[in-house]
Structure 1
Amino acid sequence: MAVQAVWLDCDPGHDDAMAILLAGYSPALQLLGVSTVASNQVVEKTTRNALDMLDLIGLTHIGVVMGQAKPLLRPAALLCPEIHGETGLDGPQGGPVLPHSGRQALPGKAAIVMFEAIQQHYGRQPQQRVQLVCTGALTNAALLLLLYPEVAGMIEITIMGGALGVGNTGPVQEFNIQVDPEAARVVFEAGVPLTMVPLEVTHTALATPEVLGRMFSRGGAGSISPFKALVELLLTFFASTYKDVFGFHGGAPLHDPCAIAAVIAPSIFKFELMRVDIETVSPLAAGQTVCDIWHQSSAPKNCRVAREMDVDAFWELMLAAVDATDLAAPMNKPQPAPEAAAAQEA
């Protein structure tokens, strides 16, 4: 199977960090770049988290561009510190746990940088659309489509977002769509091939103690590597906040990697093509994904909605990517003694 080019648009919190390593270390994907948006945290923090995560896992060649700091029409982005902490990637004791990379984001506006990268790759391989995977608010994606309508012929979009029924940060609203409903409406009405992986599916991707046991025991006996120890800290914090806020007792759901998995291995999902509209007006339900599950709407079907996922197959993809990352992570490599490092510098 041909390797698929992917651009990841995200708001790096704990599950986004796992999506980054899955996108970066799946042999089925070529990660072209990363753009960030405000939602889990302010965009300056989500951008720092993306840079730090990429450098942590040895992908320093992947550029990051800072995207939108606020929704298209609303005064400010919703944030989620109760789930992801004040940094967006807190550890169990609070505060940052990722080493600071020191690298800076790419210059320029996200929509322009995204378009140029997509256009350049598509120009070389016009037989295959670039996969735009969005795991945060859809503000950057909407601006990309509004500024460059021709990009609709170059991309497919897969989002982690929406819900067929009950929401998470609202009665019927999923967080990513709720942050910027107007942007979501632009994306859903753009006519671009669109796949939605909703809460009903991502809530099955639970990082249970059994799954984590497999993740941290793979690769041999003995103590886990520094990289896997850090992953354990991140997932421990994530599980704790999910338990406190939502009452999840079996482990936190890794929402965002499910969207990456839908690009890597669509065969492990059951999809249904349906009409999905975005509620933007109601004070009670702005951000709801109104899914025509009974196919009663006369409007064109515009979205392939994931209804089920083979959870075991998902975790095989995820665990393989963690193992591949573990082999490449610079923090696992032996570091020269201070005397040796000083001699090399001299």
Structure 2
Amino acid sequence: MGTKLIIDTDPGVDDAFAIALAALSEDVDLLGVTTVFGNVGIEATTRNAQRVLALCKRGDVPVAKGAARPLVHVHPHQARYVHGTDGLSGRSAALPEAERPVEPGGAVWLLSRLLEASDEPVTIAPIGPLTNIATLLSARPDLHHKIARIVVMGGALGHGNASAAAEFNIWSDPEAAQRVLGGGEVPCVLVPMDLTYRCAVDREWLETLAASNPMGAALTALTPDYLAHYRKALGWDGMVLHDAVAVAEAIRPGILRTEAVPVSVETSFGPARGATIVDQRRPELREETEVPEGGNTVDVAVDTDLDGLRTFLLERLTLR
């Protein structure tokens, strides 16, 4: 097996594509999936994760239910306006029923158990709010060395989507995001929406996926509400597979070009809450003005071969 991977997720249409990408890739050892509140509530995200794995015939992959709310403050709202009332454009029930029950110990317990049992460092791909991962890093410092890297889908260098300044995953739990991205104990890659938007797929890409096999047809059937939102957001007939872009980097390190820069998260209340502050100044200038709280260095994804990435995603999702 290749990359040992755990996905922490809040399905979500793009999360479903990301889970399928990992579950169908033969060079990935998908150790487990943990769930978190976010696009919809925790019961729905957990059920959706189980059903996507069942669609992929991966009943061997354990699923554990994680945080139902942020670490500190109440979650303002969910993203039903993007993903539909059930998180999957109202079509979750069309997927197969779960092949195995939810693990009884919860997300942090499963994350800890999988890390403890692994004979080599594990990549964690959090593609929802970072509440579970912040809790893990705080509760189990003895396991930091078992984490190869954390590949986060989240943040924005320019404008946000949940607010003018903040991307949804980071905005949903800014305190958790600051704990993960600002902690410095484990290497982190941040895949921001600036890049994921550039990786958007068009109607032709989706039609090719739908025609490829029953798996592709089932995934494409989950997209109507998501497509309707992104027609407005993009201005053309396509959609953004945010989380699948991050999981692609988790599977194939280097498919995204990254730059190591200081990153911190705005946790105060106000219009910038949840913003990712990414210091893209030249290193020489940063050194002149450095302050102790300037932010931990994170590998921020800034570019990729767009057509190559879309081809990679399509090939992996049509393997079976």
Match of 1:90? 89
1:241 to partner: Cα distance: 2.2
User: What secondary structure is seen at the aligned counterpart in 2 of 1:302?
Assistant: strand
- In structure 2, give the amino acid aligned to 1:133: A
The percentage of counterpart residues that share the same residue type is: 34
User: What secondary structure is seen at the aligned counterpart in 2 of 1:283?
Assistant: coil
1:200 has 2:194 as partner? yes
1:30 to partner: Cα distance: 0.8
1:102 to partner: Cα distance: 6.2
User: What secondary structure is seen at the aligned counterpart in 1 of 2:31?
Assistant: strand
1:276 has 2:263 as partner? yes
Counterpart Cα distance in 2 of 1:114 and 1:215: 32
1:148 to partner: Cα distance: 0.3
Task: Give the counterpart of 1:321 among 296, 310, 316.
Answer: 316
User: What secondary structure is seen at the aligned counterpart in 2 of 1:266?
Assistant: coil
Q: How does 1:1-346 map to 2 (within 5 A)?
A: 3-76=2-75, 78-91=77-90, 96-101=93-98, 103-121=100-118, 124-125=119-120, 129-155=121-147, 156-191=149-184, 192-218=186-212, 225-244=213-232, 246-294=233-281, 295=283, 296=286, 298=290, 299=294, 301-324=296-319, 327=320
- In structure 2, give the amino acid aligned to 1:230: A
User: What secondary structure is seen at the aligned counterpart in 1 of 2:124?
Assistant: strand
Name which one, 1 or 2, has greater alpha-carbon Rg: 1
Counterpart Cα distance in 1 of 2:92 and 2:127: 23
Counterpart Cα distance in 2 of 1:228 and 1:323: 6
Counterpart Cα distance in 2 of 1:194 and 1:318: 22
CA contact (8 A) 2:264 2:295 kept: no
CA contact (8 A) 1:39 1:77 kept: no
Structure 1: tracts of 5 or more residues without a match:
219-224, 328-346
User: What secondary structure is seen at the aligned counterpart in 1 of 2:94?
Assistant: coil
CA contact (8 A) 1:280 1:286 kept: yes
Counterpart Cα distance in 1 of 2:316 and 2:172: 30
1:315 to partner: Cα distance: 1.7
Counterpart Cα distance in 2 of 1:268 and 1:37: 26
User: What secondary structure is seen at the aligned counterpart in 2 of 1:234?
Assistant: coil
1:254 to partner: Cα distance: 0.3
User: What secondary structure is seen at the aligned counterpart in 1 of 2:223?
Assistant: helix
When the two structures are superposed, what TM-score results if normalisation uses the length of structure 1?
0.85
- Structure 2 vs 1, CA of residues 78 and 119 (structure 1 numbering), >3 Å: closer, same or farther? farther
1:59 to partner: Cα distance: 0.3
- Structure 2 vs 1, CA of residues 173 and 87 (structure 1 numbering), >3 Å: closer, same or farther? same
Structure 2: tracts of 5 or more residues without a match:
none
CA contact (8 A) 2:183 2:296 kept: no
User: What secondary structure is seen at the aligned counterpart in 2 of 1:19?
Assistant: helix
CA contact (8 A) 1:41 1:79 kept: yes
- In structure 2, give the amino acid aligned to 1:311: L
CA contact (8 A) 1:152 1:190 kept: no
User: What secondary structure is seen at the aligned counterpart in 1 of 2:190?
Assistant: strand
CA contact (8 A) 1:89 1:97 kept: no
Please list the CA deviations of residues 167-220 of structure 1 after superposition, one character each: whole Å capped at 9, or x if unmatched.
Answer: 0111110000000000001101221100000011100221202212332344xx
When the two structures are superposed, what TM-score results if normalisation uses the length of structure 2?
0.91
